[in-house]
Every structure is written in structure tokens, then in C-alpha cells.
Amino acid sequence: MKWSAETSSGKYGYSCQTALAKRVNEVLHHGLYYCWFSLEFNAVTSGNTSNPLWIYQTLSHAVHKKDVNDPKIMMIKMALMEAVTRNISIVGPAQDNEEDTEALINVRDAEIEMFHPQVWRIELSQVGRRVKGGFQYPDERKVEDLKSNEFSIVVD
């Protein structure tokens, strides 16, 4: 992707997700994605955890080096395991949760390559009022029900 003035035009938000996180969202939320993002690709006024460029570089390096003990890899894995486990407890054991069980196994046994980063460009005009802001950093945003037609994967 060519980085230009449009990356800070207010038209887009940027997120860095892993292929595994995208897959887990597809299983748990059936076409909706829980997504933190920034209004800038290189959000220098934010902390590293809110900077898509920093997250991309960190994950890319860990995957390239096959560093399964990288703190960012471990944190993502733990967060995904927690999300899947929480979903199973909400749905309850009385129902058939094959998809949830599969998602849990896929996270637990995920190869390092599943943590390769994807950069998502989010169409701000499409997410509108569903976006929540006002967190730790001014550029940091969250949307809990991002639809697949509201973002594009610009780096995979």
C-alpha cells in the first residue's frame, strides 16, 4: 500500500490483527469483528499498544524469527483463549459448541505463522456511531461489531 496524505485524512482508521484473531472472530461472531483501531497508521502520540505500525512490526518480527515466546504473541494468544472461553461459558454446555471447541483448540495449538499480522483499513464513514473512543489515547477507538464490508485488508 502506498502511504499518502489519505492515511491521515479522517476517512480511515487502521488496525493490526493476526490471521488467527480474524478467524476466531469469524467463528465466535459469524461475520462481525471485535476491533481496536487507531485513526493513524503510525499513531506516534499513542502508546505502542495503540500503534498499528508498531504492532505490525512486532508481530512480523516475532513470526519471522519463529519466536513463540514473544510477549506480544503470548498476550494475543491469552486474549484469544479468554475470548473463546468466555463465549463457551455464555452459550453454556447444554448446547452443541463444536465451533467454540474448535476455536479453542485452534488458539491453543496455533502455529506461529497464524500470528502473522494483517493491516486493516477501516472505512470510518461506514462504522459511524458504533465506534467508541475516549480511551487512554486520543487516536484509540473500538468497534465491537465491525462488518467485513467495512474494512479491507491492505497488508496480509
Contact 142, 131 (CB under 8 A): yes
Q: What is the pLDDT of residue 93?
A: 52
Written as one string, the DSSP assignment of 38-51 is ESSTT-TTS-GGG-
Instruction: Give alpha helix (H) positions in 30-117.
Output: 52-65, 71-91, 98-108
Instruction: Give alpha helix (H) positions in 112-151.
Output: 124-127
Q: What is the pLDDT of residue 131?
A: 94
pTM for the full predicted model: 0.85
Q: What is the pLDDT of residue 84?
A: 85
- Mean pLDDT, 10 residues at a time, the chain of 156 residues: 47 96 88 93 91 97 97 96 80 57 81 97 94 88 95 96
Nearest to 52 by CA among 73, 62, 37, 63: 37
